[in-house]
Each structure stands twice: as structure tokens, then as C-alpha cells.
Amino acid sequence: MILEALGSALLGFALSWAIAHRLARRLPSRSLVLSTGPAGALVGAFITHMALGPGHAPATLLGAAAVSAALLSLLVRPTRTGLRRSATA
């Protein structure tokens, strides 16, 4: 369980670093992004581990990556060109 937690935290940090590097203009502060990734991965690993039980390390890491990516996607803001108002507004 400790190795799964450490692996999922590292996976979440790597994912958040890649997102922060790639989409820097569309994200809030870098420290928020770099802390959300590992936190989401740890929550995802906990949920997956409780659902599947011990002995499913690859599936636990997959669940950790999925929850981390979902939480990081909530931080992404739309681009300014993507905001369009309707003609009636």
C-alpha cells in the first residue's frame, strides 16, 4: 500500500507538472496545479484500492491517474477566443 501511495503521488506530480508546463496560460497558480495532481492521485488510489482490494497495483495506479487528470481538468480555464456571446445577450 505504501508503494502504491508513493507511486500514485509521483504519477500525480508528473501529470500536474506536464499539464502546468503545457497549458501554463490557461491554469491558475502553478502551486495550486502542482498540489492538486498528487492530492487527486492519492484520493484516486485510495478509492481504487478500497474497491479492488490489495494486489491490483496497476489498476490502482490507473485509477489514481484518472482521478488526478479529472481534477486537473477542472482547473483549466477556457481561452479568450473560445468565449463567444450569443446575439441576443
Digit-coded pLDDT (tens) for 12-59: 999 999 999 999 899 999 999 999 999 999 999 999 999 999 999 999
Position 19, amino acid: I
In 3D space, the residue among 40, 59, 38, 39 whose CA is nearest the CA of residue 49 turns out to be 59
- The pLDDT confidence band at residue 82, using thresholds 50, 70 and 90, is low
Q: In this predicted structure, what is the pLDDT of residue 31?
A: 94
| Confidence (pLDDT) at 80 | 74
- End-to-end C-alpha distance for the chain, whole angstroms: 53
Q: Which among 47, 46, 35 has a CA at the least distance from the CA of 71?
A: 35
pLDDT at 60 over 60: yes
- pTM for the whole structure: 0.84
Q: At 85, is the pLDDT very low, low, confident or very high (cuts 50, 70, 90)?
A: low
